[in-house]
Structure 1
């Protein structure tokens, strides 16, 4: 199974380097030298890209791929989704550690079993992780992914239990 591990934000410099918005909790493994990622282009086509170098600069991951040698080619990749295989990930030994793809699609419920939505994605921000929930009415809610608010993650059971503080899930 392939999961989104990044999105090309823009070209950087003149040698084909790309600024990537990271969408994985293990960028060191996903963007390691020699890693091959599937690039899903905006026109719907795909191609493989091999990581030639990766480094952080001003809070953003800059990646150079063997197949992208110039800024002109890099500019064409703006908006491209970078996909990695879940088969390449080592299993986690920590029962409180999860890969993003394991959480995406899980049902979100209150402690009493009331369904409030589905986990759409995980946002990795500077203040911590957030679960993006698509609520039953189609709207989205951001829920801090901390034990006090998400006390139960049952991957095998296909659900997360959310214990929100007052007002967190109120509609605007």
Structure 2
């Protein structure tokens, strides 16, 4: 059963067991569309929870989970990762995909030149950045902005990009 990381518990919120999460999902509605979420410490065994309610508050998502009543229980979840079973994810739209689907894809320039392979993602302040490992082991931080992404071929496992001028030179310059 493949699990997908969708959020992390930041802190408890209030006294009734609600938790404030840093959501990596595009929509806060994901938490109402899945039958359950799984919480786990890094490297720990995931525990299943039903989401009783979800709402947005000051740019973050607040969750109420079944069985988590009171601030102390919510505090114990601080730092836990929130996972969802891949099979429970809602279907992505025709022109969209889930970020995890990009992991391991080859990244190419329009010319067909291979830049590297997508190995990780950084999500900060609403900005998605791909971590691309080049063939010679260098790490490239690529801003995943629509204007720089020309095409995504899920079946062929390739992404074609048009990086901003000079970006690759910064990372791939001989040192």
What is the TM-score of this pair, normalised by structure 2?
0.83
Supply the distance in 1 between the matched residues of 2:91 and 2:138 (Cα, whole angstroms): 33
Q: When you count helix as a share of all residues, which structure comes out higher?
A: 2
1:133 aligns with 2:134: no
Query: Which residue in the other structure is 1:162 paired with?
Result: 161
What is the TM-score of this pair, normalised by structure 1?
0.84
1:93 Cα deviation (Å)? 4.4
Taking only aligned residues, the RMSD between alpha carbons, in angstroms, comes to 2.3
Supply the distance in 2 between the matched residues of 1:28 and 1:107 (Cα, whole angstroms): 31
1:121 Cα deviation (Å)? 2.7
Deviation larger for 114-123 or 59-68: 114-123
Is residue 108–residue 159 contact of structure 2 (8 Å, CA) maintained in 1?
A: yes
Query: Which residue in the other structure is 1:20 paired with?
Result: 21
Supply the distance in 1 between the matched residues of 2:24 and 2:167 (Cα, whole angstroms): 24
SS at match of 1:156: coil
Is residue 25–residue 99 contact of structure 1 (8 Å, CA) maintained in 2?
A: no
1:46 Cα deviation (Å)? 1.8
Deviation larger for 96-105 or 78-87: 96-105
Per-residue Cα deviation, 1:3-43 (whole angstroms, up to 9, x for no partner): 011111111111111111111224303x1177311111246
Is residue 25–residue 124 contact of structure 1 (8 Å, CA) maintained in 2?
A: no
SS at match of 1:87: helix
1:63 Cα deviation (Å)? 0.7
SS at match of 1:32: helix
Is residue 51–residue 63 contact of structure 1 (8 Å, CA) maintained in 2?
A: yes
1:53 Cα deviation (Å)? 1.1
Supply the distance in 2 between the matched residues of 1:49 and 1:41 (Cα, whole angstroms): 14
1:44 aligns with 2:12: no
- In structure 2, relative to structure 1, the CA distance for the partners of 1:12 and 1:93 (3 Å cut) is closer
Structure 1 unaligned spans of 5+:
none
